[in-house]
Amino acid sequence: MGLDSVQVLGITVHCLVEDDVLRIVLDRIKHREPTQIVTVNAEFVMIAQHDDRFRRVLAAADVATPDGAGVVWAARRKGATIQRRVGGSDLIWSLSRQAAQYSQSVFLLGAAEGVAASAALRLQAAIPGLTVAGTHAGSPARSEEDAIVDLVRTSGADILFVAFGAPRQDLWIARNLPRSGAVVGMGVGGSFDYLAGTARRAPVWMQERGLDWLWRLIQQPWRWRRMLALPRFVWNVLRDGRANSEAGKGLI
Ligand code: UDP
């Protein structure tokens, strides 16, 4: 596919914009080639530092978008040209719009009971002609896997959005996408909650300033411990940069 990429703390991030993802998805669906999209944010990178399975899934993903101000900042520090973040909550809209245009269907899997169904209604209300092949809350438990795969397969969905949170959603897709019959699989974190209105996205001015994390901390303060991944990420990137420049000096 020849996508430009950059390594952020050992994790591959593709230097692309939303339109590139749409183009790749169109092509992959046309050729029925299973394609996993991961939206790499700072938390993903930090989890992958000590979770080998997640690291392997991220490395094997066909498309790894830069999701979040932290990853965009770190990628640019390494000289990558990245215009802006390309995140799951935006991609779910643009992929659904494209799906409607090309008569492809989507399946929404995950989140709390009823949330995927309301998220689907919201998408369908906004996107005339969108085919939702199915929705299911389910869980990432291994015991449910075969039944969920059957559900997706029988639905005939082309695109599968999975909201089980990282890393479980991405591991789930890596294990099951080919046998689910869906062509494209993308982990979408809390996006169904935003669509269904059970959680609110940061105001645009905050998103534009890379302050989604602050909004999330205000809305969901109980996540503070998980969010410590962000300062740890910044610290690691700065330390990594210093180590590289010192190694560079040694060579001169
Ligand atoms: N979730 C789920 N099953 C689980 C764990 C999480 O359906 O076993 C859902 C949760 O309800 C939420 C989504 O996964 O809708 C994303 O969770 P989180 O906010 O932790 O993910 P993030 O957006 O931080 O990646």
Ligand 1 touching residue 189 (CB < 6 A):
yes
pTM confidence score: 0.95
Per-residue pLDDT tens digits of the chain, which is 252 residues long? 678 999 999 999 999 999 999 999 999 999 999 999 999 999 999 999 999 999 999 999 999 999 999 999 999 999 999 999 999 999 999 999 999 999 999 999 999 999 999 999 999 999 999 999 999 999 999 999 999 999 999 999 999 999 999 999 999 999 999 999 999 999 999 999 999 999 999 999 999 898 999 999 999 999 989 899 999 999 999 999 878 777 766 544
Domains parsed from the chain with CATH numbers: 5-199+220-234 (3.40.50)
- Kindly state if the Cβ of 116 falls inside 6 Å of ligand 1: no
Q: How far is the CA of 79 from the centre of ligand 1 (A)?
A: 33
Nearest CA to ligand 1 atom 18: 165
For 105-155, the pLDDT digits (tens) are: 999 999 999 999 999 999 999 999 999 999 999 999 999 999 999 999 999
Q: Is 185 exposed, middle or buried (0-12, 13-18, 19+ CB in 10 A)?
A: buried
Residues 6+ apart with CB under 8 A from 103: 131
How far, in Å, from the CA of 132 to the mean position of ligand 1? Answer: 21
63 C-alpha vs ligand 1 centroid, how far in Å?
Answer: 21
Ligand 1 atom 3 nearest Cα: 164
141 lines ligand 1 (CB under 6 A): no
193 C-beta closer than 6 A to ligand 1: yes
Residue 148 and residue 136 in contact, taking contact as beta carbons nearer than 8 Å:
yes
59 CA → ligand 1 middle, Å: 22
Confirm if 107 and 81 have CB atoms less than 8 A apart. Answer: no
Cα gap 118→108, rounded to integer Å: 10
Q: How far is the CA of 194 from the centre of ligand 1 (A)?
A: 12
In the reported structure, the alpha carbon of residue 9 is separated from the centroid of ligand 1 by a whole-number distance in angstroms of 24
Question: Measured on CA atoms in the order 232, 238, 239, 244, is the torsion positive or negative?
Answer: positive
